[in-house]
A and B are shown apart, each in its own frame.
Chain A
Amino acid sequence: MIPLESLTPCFQGLLPAWLLTCSKDGIPNVAMLSHVDYVDSSHIALSFQFFNKSKRNVTENPRALVRLYDPDTLQMYALRLRFVRTETAGATFERMRLRIEAIASYSGLKGVFKLLGADIYEVLEVAPVEHEVGRPTAASTPRPAAGVPFTMKALQEFSARIHGAATLDALLDAVLETLEQNFGFRHSMILLASERPERLELIASRGYPPGGVGSEVGFGEGIIGMVAEARKPVRISGMLRQMLYAYAVAQRAQERGLRPDDCRIPLPGLPHPESQLGIPLIAHDDLVGVLCIESQQPYRFHEEDRAYLEVLGGFLAIAIQNTLLRERAEESEDAPTAPSRTEDGKRLPAPSGSGPNLEITWYEADECVLADGEYLVRGLPAKILRKVLREHRDEGREEFTNRLLRLDKSLQLPVVKDNLESRLILLRRRLEERCPAIRIASCGRGRFRLELEANVTLVERP
């Protein structure tokens, strides 16, 4: 028998697989499958999302057949199966559930489009269907050897870049750059846990148009939110097809009066990703963030990518934590430079003195900041921006230290494990993207300088 392991690409869901069953009365049934998963060398798991004839049939007659395609050659394989059991917990169920719920949340279908069980089948026979091959020439071409990007040299390079990064800022960019240059992952992003519970914010990305910094993802939303919630990697291939499948379910659900939730999650990243791989960044049991890579190519990421990136993600999480601790330990304890008082207490002077006018509005209730009426940032980064603009206005202060911010009770930083450095990076990058007239420039460890190229007015609203 062809080893099941050699069919791993067939389990990517690029093309629908078909499950053929037969009732005890001899009526055949053919059903489309949203997910087929490899379990071990003699078992596969099929997604069980709706009570249907297939389910009834295999309960009374366990004989079944799955027809699925190799996505590289469109070679059809027929797998002769025997239904064994339905699992509603455990590693296989969890893996399938995360993927299905990530798809569901993109389609506003959480709760409707879900996994009821992972149906485990014993594989009795695997045979290629001789006359059903889409690209016969490709069948003889060996598949590119798995693991090519994860050479020892590339891994060493990754490690060296992590060790060489002096600041969190440099670390994040170095990691994403290395992912592209050494491993060929061109679209990547890192989201870090926000100070608000169960939310992540995008802090660094590569391969996307600017403007994504500060994008938020709630736990359980999309692949990134599912990774964060479950603290497990999630890999999705052939997303377009799976989204179409989910969309068909959504349409039917709406016709039936069921209410899929209306708020679709705007996905930070590619507008139409075909493959996604999300890795939790966990250090000492803390979820530091999520690393997500994407591709417009269907079936781009393989199990091996997941396995390697999970290990690299572990290093990255520890590196992020260590960098934060080190930065804090080395923070300057010097007092900031003496403020130079301004005559006008309201207007913030632009260094050039001739910059354009810029209105920064702080909304207390939402804890967010708008720049000339456009949303800029919220939460802790917004509070920091208000604080430094205020102090600049009232006291003429231009230089600030992280230590000073930590001592400010109005910022409500947690006593232990505050994430001030990452919030400052987010604020700085957000300003670079959306409001370049205000700059937060680093001027030594734990210090930064406020630089203005506009006449900034700070307006504070309830």
Chain B
Amino acid sequence: MKGSAPISAELAAFLESGLSITAGTRDRELNPDGARAWAARVDEDRTHLTVFIHAKAAPALLRNLESCPEVALAFDRPVDNRACQVKGRFESSRRARPDERAEVERQAGGFLSQLDEIGIPRALTAGWKVWPAVAIRLRVTELFEQTPGPGAGEPLR
């Protein structure tokens, strides 16, 4: 089993800045599956991360995670495609608390504003539901650069 990979302060700020987040899981037959996450919070220990997924997307994701805890999270900033991938192991899940809602909506709003900037108007994204959310906590095992181009896929230091 892989150890923990600490997230730098700079990277933590990036991960929490309101990005496109796609979570990837798999089942026992190695069939991949995925869902959009709307926000991420890096724990103070910098080795754990919590992502917020819409409650309707959570059951399928959790079904996989409970039997196969490996998870991949792709973070991408739409305006410039700066991207990284966080690999981790599922630890726990819970309903997101009301006091977390503002932060989840802030990050989701940041992502939607960026889409607006690159030509996908708010009117088109208005139907995407952010809340209620489920918080999924994982231990971070590896971090990779994923900005497209040469160097994508290399470990992040």
**A residues within 8 Å of B by Cβ?**
14-16, 18, 20-22, 24, 26-32, 34, 49-50, 52-53, 61, 63-65, 67, 73-74, 76, 78, 80, 112-113, 129-136, 238, 240-241, 244-245, 247-253, 255-256, 258, 274, 298
Contacts and interface: CB of A to CB of B under 8 A. Distances in A.
Interface in B102-129: 115, 118-120, 123-129
B30 A63 contact: yes
Contact of A256 (B26, B120, B151): B151
B23 interface: yes
A131 B32 contact: no
B150 A253 contact: yes
Given A27-B70, A53-B153, A249 B22 contact: no
A131 B148 contact: no
A52 B152 contact: yes
B118 A241 contact: yes
Contacts of B56: 130-131
Contact of B31 (A22, A129, A250, A274): A22
A248 B24 contact: no
Interface of B: 20, 22-26, 29-34, 36, 54, 56-57, 68, 70-74, 76, 78-83, 85, 87, 115, 118-120, 123-129, 146-153
Given A20-B34, A131-B129, A132-B128, 16 more contacts: A18-B22, A20-B72, A26-B68, A27-B87, A32-B83, A32-B146, A52-B153, A63-B29, A65-B34, A67-B22, A74-B125, A240-B119, A248-B81, A250-B149, A252-B152, A256-B151
A437 to B, nearest CB: 43
Nearest to B87: A27
22 contacts: A20-B24, A20-B32, A28-B24, A28-B25, A30-B85, A34-B148, A50-B152, A50-B153, A63-B30, A67-B22, A74-B120, A78-B34, A131-B57, A131-B129, A133-B127, A136-B127, A240-B119, A248-B80, A248-B81, A249-B148, A250-B149, A252-B147
A135 B123 contact: yes
A73 B23 CA distance: 22
A286 B74 CA distance: 48
Given A18-B22, A26-B30, A134 B128 contact: yes
Nearest to A25: B70
B38 to A, nearest CB: 11
A63 B31 contact: yes
A27 B32 CA distance: 9
Nearest to A62: B30
Contacts, number: 157
Given A24-B30, A132-B36, A241-B118, A251 B85 contact: no
Given A21-B32, A50-B149, A298 B119 contact: yes
Contacts of B147: 248, 251-252
B33 A20 contact: yes
B119 A29 contact: no
Contacts of A18: 22, 34, 74
Nearest to A252: B149
Contact of A16 (B57, B76, B150, B151): B76
Given A248-B80, A253-B150, A22 B73 contact: no
Contacts of B150: 50, 112, 249, 252-253, 256, 258
Contacts of A112: 149-150
B125 to A, nearest CB: 5
Contacts of B20: 16
A65 B74 contact: no
Contacts of A27: 70, 72, 87
Contacts of A251: 147, 149
Given A30-B72, A252-B152, A135 B82 contact: no
A74 B87 CA distance: 27
B152 A26 contact: no
A49 B20 CA distance: 22
A132 B56 CA distance: 9
Contacts of B123: 135
A131 B82 CA distance: 27
B120 A29 contact: no
A30 B148 CA distance: 13
A245 B78 CA distance: 9
Q: Please give me the 3 A-B residue pairs with the lowest Cβ-Cβ distance, nearest first.
A: A252-B149, A249-B149, A248-B81
A454 B115 CA distance: 54
Contacts of B119: 14, 238, 240-241, 274, 298
A46 to B, nearest CB: 14
Contacts of B54: 131
Contacts of B23: 30
B31 A67 contact: no
B30 A61 contact: yes
Given A21-B32, A28-B72, A134-B127, A14 B83 contact: no
A15 B72 contact: no
Contacts of A129: 57
Contacts of A250: 149
Contacts of A133: 127-128
Contact of A22 (B30, B78, B152): B30
Given A31-B146, A244-B118, A245-B81, A22 B124 contact: no
